[in-house]
Structure 1
Amino acid sequence: MEEESGLSDVLPRDLASLFSDTYTEESHYQFCGQQLRITQLYGARLGVAAPVWDAALNLCSFFEEQKLNFKGKKIIELGAGTGIVGILLSLLGGDVTLTDLPHTLPQIEKNVSANILAGCPPNVCALSWGFDQVNFPQDYDFVIGADIVYLKETYDLLLCTLQHLCGPSTTMFLSSKMRAEHGTVDFFQHVLPKHFNVDLQWRNVEDNINIYKVTQFQN
C-alpha cells in the first residue's frame, strides 16, 4: 500500500489495532498453478503495507480465470505491499518491477527471495507517487495495482503517476475495495474516466471488490 497515514480512517478499530503489535505471519497461496509463500511483517512501521489484502487475492484469481499471457511482458506494480501479485506475474514469465514506498521494500525483497528461486527475479524499487514516476519508462505492457485507492489525499498523485506510466499500448488492471466513504467509488466512477477508458471487469459482491481495466483514450 502506498501510505501509512490515515490507517484508522481506512480500517475499523478492531482491525487497526492489529498493527499495534509487531509479529510475522507466513501464508501460503496457490494461483495459476504456482505456489506462493508470503511473509507479512505486521507492525506500526509497515501499517497497511503488511497484510495480503483481499483485493490482491481477487486480482490473482482474476488473472487465473482470464488465463492472461504475461510471458515476456513488461509489468510494473504500484503499492506492491507484500508483492504477491507481482511475484505471481513474475512466476508466469513477466518482466516485473515491484514498487512501493522505501520502508516497505525489505518485506517485498524477502518475499521475492522466498518465491523466485530460479530465473530473473523482479526488480524492487521505491516509487513515491507524483514524484518518482519520471524515473520510470513509459513502455509497460501492464500496470498493476491492488487496493491502492483508499486515501483521498493521494489520488491526484496516483493519477499523475498513472498518466506517466500508461502508454498507448499499456493495459492497467486496478483492483480495489470500493470504499464510498473514502472517495474510492468517486475515483473510479468520475475522476479516472476523465483521463482514461475505464471498464469494470470483475465484481466480488460479497467482499465489495471491483477490478477495472484501464487504458488510454484512442484518437
Structure 2
Amino acid sequence: MQCEEVSGLSDALPRDVGSLFSDTYTEESCYKFCGRELRITQHFGANLGVAAPVWDAALCMCTYFEEQKLNFKGKKVIELGAGTGIVGILVSLLGGHVTVTDLPHALPQISKNVSVNVPSDHAPNVCALSWGIDQEHFPRDYDFVLGADIVYLKETYDLLVQTLLHLCGPHTTIFLSSKMRKEHGTMDFFKNILPQYFNLELVKRDVKEDLNIYRVTCFQN
C-alpha cells in the first residue's frame, strides 16, 4: 500500500539514464506493508539513474511478501540491486538478518533510508556488490536472495547468474520480481537463461503492470 504516489515512473525504461533523470530533485514517499510504515527518500538525477526510484516490481514483491505472510525471522537474506533499499528494509523489519547491496553510487541513498526506517540494533548491512566481480566476498549460505527489477540489461545477465550461483546454497530460495520488458530480453532471461542453472516457478503475475515474480531454487532442492 502506498501512502503517496510517485507519478510518471511505472512506464519509464532504463534505456537512456541521462535523459530519463536529467532533472535533479528529492522526493519522499510513504508505503505500508505487513503493518509497517516505510518512509523512503528517492534522489532523482543522472548520478543515481535507475537506482533512484521505487520501481513497481519492488512494490509488487513487498505486496507478495505481505500476501504470503512469509517468515523471515532469523533468516539470512541478501538483496541485489537494491536501489532505494525498500525490499531489504521491509524484510529487516520482519526479522531477517539482511544485507542490502548495489553499486557504490547507490549506497548513500540506501543507507539514509535504512537509518530512517530500521532501529540501529537490527539495521541491515549496506554493501557494494558488482555482479560477476564482488560476489566472492560474500558467503554462500543465504536463506533468501532477493532482486526487484534487476533483469533489464542483457550484458549483465551472465554476471547476474554467476552471482546467484555463488550466493546460493542447496536450501536457498531466490525471489525475483521483474517488469517483463520485451525490448530488454527479460522474458528470454527467465525462459531460456536462468532455467539452465535453477528451478523456476512463477508465483505471482500482475497482468495490468506486466510484472512477474519468480521463486527460484537450486536443482538439488
Q: How many percent identity over aligned positions? A: 72
Kept after mapping to 1: 8 A contact 2:83/2:102: yes
Structure 1 unmatched ranges of 5 or more: 1-8
Per-residue displacement from partner, 1:95-133 (whole Å, max 9, x unpaired)? 000000001000000000010135310000000000000
Structure 1 residue 163 and structure 2 residue 177: aligned? Answer: no
Q: Report the counterpart of residue 139 of structure 2 in structure 1.
A: 137
Deviation (angstroms), 1:20 = 0.1
Distance of 2:112 and 2:15 partners within structure 1: 28
Q: Report the counterpart of residue 13 of structure 2 in structure 1.
A: 10
Number of aligned pairs? 210
Structure 2 unmatched ranges of 5 or more: 1-11
Q: TM-score, normalised by structure 1?
A: 0.93
- Equivalent positions of 1:92-171 (< 5 A) are 92-171=94-173
Q: Report the counterpart of residue 5 of structure 1 in structure 2.
A: none
Report the secondary structure of 2:53's partner residue. coil
Which amino acid is the alignment partner of residue 65 of structure 1? E
Q: Report the counterpart of residue 9 of structure 2 in structure 1.
A: none
Distance of 1:183 and 1:155 partners within structure 2: 10
Per-residue displacement from partner, 1:117-152 (whole Å, max 9, x unpaired)? 353100000000000000000010000000000000
The alignment's C-alpha RMSD in Å is 1.6
1:49 equivalent among 42, 48, 51: 51
Deviation (angstroms), 1:87 = 0.1
Q: Report the counterpart of residue 3 of structure 1 in structure 2.
A: none
Deviation (angstroms), 1:17 = 3.9
2:40 equivalent among 15, 35, 38: 38
Q: Report the counterpart of residue 80 of structure 1 in structure 2.
A: 82
**Structure 1, 111-120 or 92-101: larger mean CA deviation:** 111-120
Report the secondary structure of 2:121's partner residue. coil
Kept after mapping to 1: 8 A contact 2:98/2:124: yes
Report the secondary structure of 1:169's partner residue. strand
